[in-house]
Chain A
Amino acid sequence: MAAAGPWLQPAELTTSGRPVLLQGEVERLFISSIDLEAEENPNLPSLRSGLLALTSHRLLWIDDTSRYAHSIPLEAVIHAFPPKKSIRSMFASPRIRIQVSASRDGKVGIGGSASSMVITIVMRGGKNDPEAFFGKLWEVLKLRSWEVKEVKEKENLGELGVSALGEGPSRVRTAVVGVSGILRKEQEMWESTDKSLQEAFQDLNALMSKAREMVALAEKMRQKLLSGSSAQANPSDEDLGSKQEMQDWLLSVGIASPVTKESAGALYHQQLSRQLADFVKVPLDKAGGMIALIDVYCLFNRARGTELISPEDLLQACVLWEKYEVPVMLRKFDSGVMVIQSKAHSDEEVFARITNLAQKPDALRKGISPSDAALTLGIAPTLAKEHLINAESKGLLCRDVSPDGFRFFVNLFKEFDPTNMFSVKDDGFCKAWLSAATVASA
């Protein structure tokens, strides 16, 4: 981790190597093969050939293997020098210098502007356009998004006071007293929410510019629902159900900074792949470790909002997982059905559950259909069928095709003895099956 030395702050990465973004932060550009050097102070170790991500808030340098990262808050950038144009620079790798504030002992971005230093961004390989990068950097610096965040936080603090008011009577302020005060405040909030919703849906352009606020709003509502349900002593079942539903909706709104071709350029699929790996974790957990690719496509695009991706892009992103250390993988069944499964997911566990299901008296007598298994395992019928066929190929189950349909039974063939056809082993499923079958016929 410490390869870069202590002069840059470490930045957090997700398990699949994507930067963890701050609140309100959006990625703007990805470029690869980037070195960071502290030219004035050669004692500081350089960062060699990594990814450089420019976001609305930070410059992130990510190690080539995506194991660790460092960040430079844009807030600390005092000046950015455009790439030099000279005969010499035509042959050397393009360089962009930024002057950043630093503490006295040379730590960037910490401790105000006690001193400053120059960091050189070296673009190796000649694939990147330094002018374009500089343009974007300049643009982002001018926008000063990090200041917007601070203002927002102050607003949030104000709202927090209101919600705290509903929970504890000790914090009552004179301005809003009693039930009517709460109601009035709620009303105001509703009105402002209503207004932003109306603005958002006026036209698509407005929606796109409002997308960020909508996501933030959804997140806020979710948080509120969460805290609300824990505060309430006895919420009715119906109430709980609708809250759950609401939460599910809000969760699916969620990718604040979708990777796009525009921002990631050549690194599009790589970054998309990593973002997808982060994204599928929640739905995977909910689905029990495996989810059909088609479902992921819908969920992912829904979460991305307006930045839709094509099925090919999704597939390519999944295929790329093989190259990275991510906790998920793409799996293709013999039938051609493709699913995403977490690496922690084991077939054995599914087999154990299926065998368990197939041993119930009812299942012993009549077998289990893919839809039975889907209900018990809480997964899609197509997927359940794959699991059953998989278990069959392992010799755990065997099939029964009849006018009633396609069903599976516990595999008893192993237990029947061709040399003594009437024997029944005392141990094993056969005895259980026999008793279940005779109860039915009696």
Chain B
Amino acid sequence: MQKLGDFKLPHFFSYPPYFTLQPVRETREKQVQLWKELILDYCRSQRVFVIGLDEEFPLFSNPAIERSLSHESREVFLSALVSEGRAEWMDKNHKKCLILWLRIQDWADCIINFVKDNGLEDSVMTIEDMRSGIESRGTELAGIDRGVLIRALKLLEQKGKAAIFKGSSTDDEGVKFNV
């Protein structure tokens, strides 16, 4: 079985038609579904948040069978994720795609758990610390995309469970929890 780093690839990754956009509706639906799952699985295990359509992305080609996805098919598969709320286009030209292997709501839950686990209720943290601090090491939050984190925090803010306050620079942005 083929592997990408420590990521185990499924059998169909060596199936040449998997890399050609199928024109028949039923077949394509199944193909799109398989791609969606594979992209989410891979991004989650490799902690990839952003996929650039024009950049090299290991999942989009299989050198062993000399097949790779066309630009059109990449866009089709990512758009399928976008329409399900599992991804978002970051620009109008669909050049970059933000992959939400956890939805914003799930990220917010994740933060709450993190806060509780570390006894941070009613305390203050900088955003940078949440992404790369000692507390977050080894948790889902480690290395989280900044945009995703802020959106999750804003969701918490709406619910009154956190308050974001700005410092003099972006590095200083902080959050006060109120769980």
Contact = CB atoms under 8 A, between A and B. Distances in A.
Given A418-B33, A422-B8, A412 B15 contact: yes
A421 B20 contact: no
Interface in B6-57: 8, 10-12, 14-17, 19-20, 22-24, 26-27, 30-31, 33-34, 36-38, 41
B134 interface: no
Given A411-B27, A418-B37, A421-B37, A402 B16 contact: yes
Nearest to B8: A422
A129 B37 CA distance: 78
Contacts of A416: 10-12, 30, 34
A398 B24 contact: yes
Interface string A391-434: 01101001111111001010111101011011010000010011
B10 to A, nearest CB: 4
A407 B31 CA distance: 17
Nearest to A366: B16
A367 interface: yes
B12 to A, nearest CB: 5
Given A398-B17, A402-B16, A430-B11, A421 B34 contact: yes
A398 B18 CA distance: 9
Interface residues of B, number: 26
B11 A424 contact: yes
Interface string B58-72: 000000101100000
Given A398-B27, A418-B34, A409 B10 contact: no
B17 A409 contact: yes
B67 A413 contact: no
Interface string B112-151: 0000000000000000000000000000000000000000
A310 interface: no
B86 to A, nearest CB: 13
A343 B30 CA distance: 34
A320 B2 CA distance: 58
A398 B22 contact: yes
Contact of A421 (B16, B24, B26, B38): B38
Across chains A and B, which 3 residue pairs bring their CB atoms closest together, nearest first?
A421-B10, A400-B16, A413-B30
Interface of B: 8, 10-12, 14-17, 19-20, 22-24, 26-27, 30-31, 33-34, 36-38, 41, 64, 66-67
8 contacts: A409-B15, A412-B17, A413-B17, A418-B34, A418-B37, A419-B37, A421-B12, A437-B14
Given A398-B24, A421-B12, 8 more contacts: A393-B24, A404-B66, A409-B16, A413-B12, A413-B27, A416-B30, A430-B11, A437-B14
